[in-house]
Amino acid sequence: MATRLSVAATHDPQQACRWAVQLEYDGTPFIGWQRQASGRSVQDVLEAAAARLTGGRPVASIVAGRTDAGVHAAGQVAHLDLPLAVSERLTGARLCDALNFHMKPDPVAVLRAARVGPEFSARFSAIRRSYEYRILNRPARPALDANRAWHVRQHLDIARMQAAAALLVGRHDFSSFRAASCQARSPVRTLDRLDVTRAGESVMLRAEARSFLHHQIRNLAGTLKLVGDHRWNLEDVAAALAARDRSQAGPTAPPQGLCLLAVAYPIDPFA
Amino acid sequence: MATRLSVAATHDPQQACRWAVQLEYDGTPFIGWQRQASGRSVQDVLEAAAARLTGGRPVASIVAGRTDAGVHAAGQVAHLDLPLAVSERLTGARLCDALNFHMKPDPVAVLRAARVGPEFSARFSAIRRSYEYRILNRPARPALDANRAWHVRQHLDIARMQAAAALLVGRHDFSSFRAASCQARSPVRTLDRLDVTRAGESVMLRAEARSFLHHQIRNLAGTLKLVGDHRWNLEDVAAALAARDRSQAGPTAPPQGLCLLAVAYPIDPFA
């Protein structure tokens, strides 16, 4: 109980300062962002490093995107509250350096840190999340990017994938693309962008929305792949979306292709 | 002795066919390309996979660029001789698939394979080798690219690095940039290209030559970095080159930033 009380105490703006941190991580060795009963999470690594700055007093963090096991981030954002006495000795650059030092050698790095007001929430203040999903589309399995892309051997027709993506952009009930474990109250989301591009052997999906359902992008990627290799046509995609039934859409694409690129706020906390 | 004789036998064009293979690998877990008394090399992985196709008969390979421990390749080229009876059952695509299957789960992949004439040597027929050296130039240590870039915190002035690179391009005695262990008969090389570019936080060097001395690119990178962070000026670079003395040039940059991109031949074996 003492531990919980001390965490709660740091949320008192009279005694604590809130910091926003931008994070890069390789998701390969982690069970995902969120702490779980077994295995190491990115959250564990960040909070353990922060606790080194408070003399062992626990520090709780809230994150913009709770990435799954194996999913990467280039621009994740979290916030955490540090005691006033600790915060007074810090600048954004010093907090970056200190956290990066204590997180070694884990593949997690704080890129930027900034003091924010107590009203800022990395999760609830976010107005846009941008993800990239990378497919390595060639016969040979990946060597350099084994943990960074989904390997698809069959040639993907990106013109077909682009046409299918256009059907999915906009405000829809995405029940067909939502994991059974999804905790969101509503399956309705507005997908602002779902671009498909090719650069040599890489096929890149770029998805943007205020928020996503659990597994939504990986389920969209798995469905677009069926269109790209001619197993599905556009009517199949429209029917899958209309069905509002997970079993009617394509399989969940593997996690290692996904990367959280950026999170946007009404006012950039790092500007 | 029996082993050596059977390898030699596969070099007889009456009994063997020569194959060129293009390889991608993540150098992180390897002691380098070349077999050594202890540790696993990329050569070990490739030759062990090839021996699975010959019923255990050893297969020797010759490579274009003997990369060091931790150095990567996106377009390495090697050749190997396979018995006629084995080769007759193969196409380039089948050889790729078979080698990739047997090399699993090592981060080595054959991208292309093609039959070539017995006069082809991956090493001696090569007329150009292209390498990229990547520097991650930002305060925070790398997380996503921990094994793929040299982390340099101090801001690098690439205009200065470009001017220094221009002094190094051309035909020179590169003794100052040559490892003590280098086995080349002459320290004279013609550096055809040494470009320095920036893309966000990445500073990329691109080096091309018919051939390089041992550690030449890493020693050039270590020297250009001293110019980029204003510790050296152009006169220091000119003096280092003129000295023909390894101790007068900059330090050897770490291996993980280096990647062999491509090897060119008078006639593209994979075309």
Give dist(CA B229, CA B161) in Å, integer: 9
Give dist(CA A91, CA A115) in Å, integer: 8
Residue of chain A whose Cα is closest to the Cα of B142: A109
Average pLDDT score over chain A: 94
Q: What integer pLDDT is reported at residue A133 of this predicted model? A: 98
Fold equal for B16-124 and B128-262? yes
Q: What integer pLDDT is reported at residue B6 of this predicted model? A: 46
Give dist(CA A156, CA A222) in Å, integer: 12
Q: What integer pLDDT is reported at residue A69 of this predicted model? A: 97
What is the CATH code of the structural domain delimited by A16-124?
3.30.70.580
A144–B97 CB contact, under 8 Å? no
Catalytic residue among A26, A68, A81, A106: A68
Please write the tens of the pLDDT for every residue from A198-245: 999 999 999 999 999 999 999 999 999 999 999 999 999 999 999 999
List, for chain B, all residue ranges whose pLDDT scores fall below the cut of 70: 1-14
Q: What integer pLDDT is reported at residue A4 of this predicted model? A: 43
A25–B141 CB contact, under 8 Å? no
Q: Helix, strand, coil % (nearest 5) of chain B?
A: 30, 30, 40
Exposed, middle or buried by CB within 10 Å (0-12, 13-18, 19+), for B110? buried
**Is A265's pLDDT higher than 80?**
yes
A143 contact B CB<8A = yes
What is the CATH code of the structural domain delimited by A128-262?
3.30.70.660
Tokens of B143: 């997380």
Report yes or no: A110 and A20 within 8 Å, Cβ to Cβ.
Answer: no
Report yes or no: B260 and B71 within 8 Å, Cβ to Cβ.
Answer: yes
A144–B24 CB contact, under 8 Å? yes
Residue of chain B whose Cα is closest to the Cα of A108: B143
Quote the pTM value: 0.91
Window 239-268 of B, Cβ < 8 Å to A: 259
Q: What integer pLDDT is reported at residue A15 of this predicted model? A: 82
A155 contact B CB<8A = no
B107–A143 CB contact, under 8 Å? yes
Q: What integer pLDDT is reported at residue B84 of this predicted model? A: 93
Residue of chain A whose Cα is closest to the Cα of B137: A111
Nearest-CB residue to A144 (from B26, B97, B104): B26
In the block, residue with structure tokens 């077909």: A160
Domain assignments of chain B as residue spans, ordered by start: 16-124, 128-262
Of the candidates A213, A232, A212, which has an alpha carbon nearest to the alpha carbon of residue A222? A232
Give dist(CA A250, CA A215) in Å, integer: 12
Q: Provide the H-helix boundaries in B88-214.
A: 92-103, 158-168
Residue of chain A whose Cα is closest to the Cα of B144: A26
Please write the tens of the pLDDT for every residue from B143-161: 999 999 999 999 999 999 9
Q: State the count of interchain CB pairs (< 8 A) between A and B.
A: 61
B47 contact A CB<8A = no
**Is A2's pLDDT higher than 80?**
no
Chain B CB contacts of A141 under 8 Å are: 100, 104, 109
- Which run of H or of E encompasses A25? strand A16-25
